[in-house]
Amino acid sequence: MVMHVHAEAHGDERGALLAFLDEQRGGIRRTLLGLTDEQAATRPSASELSLSGLLKHVAETEQGWLSRAQQVAPDVQRSEENWGESFELVGDETVESMLAYWDKVARRTEDFIRAVPSMNDTFPLPDQPWFPDDEAVSMRWLMLRLIAEMARHAGHADIIRESLDKKTAFELIAQEQGSAWG
């Protein structure tokens, strides 16, 4: 299931932020159109990133930030030992199963953001060296962080996809919409 949240339908800050986040998610999803799991796992550029690895990374990252904001344990615990698995499909994971997982995470994100009493409500940042000590951030910050994360990786995904088969974002959008332009 692909969510399409339209800010105009809600006319509010939450709707706008959710719509921008969903737009960036869509950019990543589209890069996987028409690829097999094997093609999605290839690394055609100088980077170690693959499209399926990016998919898993963004799904786990969104879920991790959502868990932090909810102050609950994340679905997946990553450590130095298994950090690499966050960038590749392992075991019985497939692009299809990872897309389905990400859709569930996206619904949980929307439900949470819609339910939080105020976008000014805060949660503590994780105790990691790249974050300030003992700082709390707002739900608005969470949404902006997720949008930035998705946008960064949507750009990576565009480059990887174009390196695979020369398909551009415009062509993939046209393909998704069934346009003759693609």
Question: Which residues does the chain have with pLDDT short of 50?
Answer: 1-3, 7, 181-182
| 137 phi, psi to nearest 5 deg | -130, 160
The pTM assigned to this predicted structure is 0.86
pLDDT recorded at residue 181: 45
Closest to 86 measured CA to CA, from 101, 107, 69, 68: 101
Q: Count Cα neighbours of 105 within 13 Å in the Cβ-side half-sphere.
A: 26
Q: Give the pLDDT of residue 10.
A: 55
Cα dihedral 109, 26, 101, 153 in deg (nearest 10): -90
CATH architecture of 7-177: Up-down Bundle (1.20)
Q: Where are the domains of the chain?
A: 7-177
pLDDT number for residue 2? 47
| pLDDT one-digit tens code per residue, 134-147 | 889 999 999 999 99
pLDDT the model gives residue 77: 84
Asked whether the beta carbons of 172 and 182 are under 8 A apart, the reply is yes
pLDDT confidence of residue 134 = 80
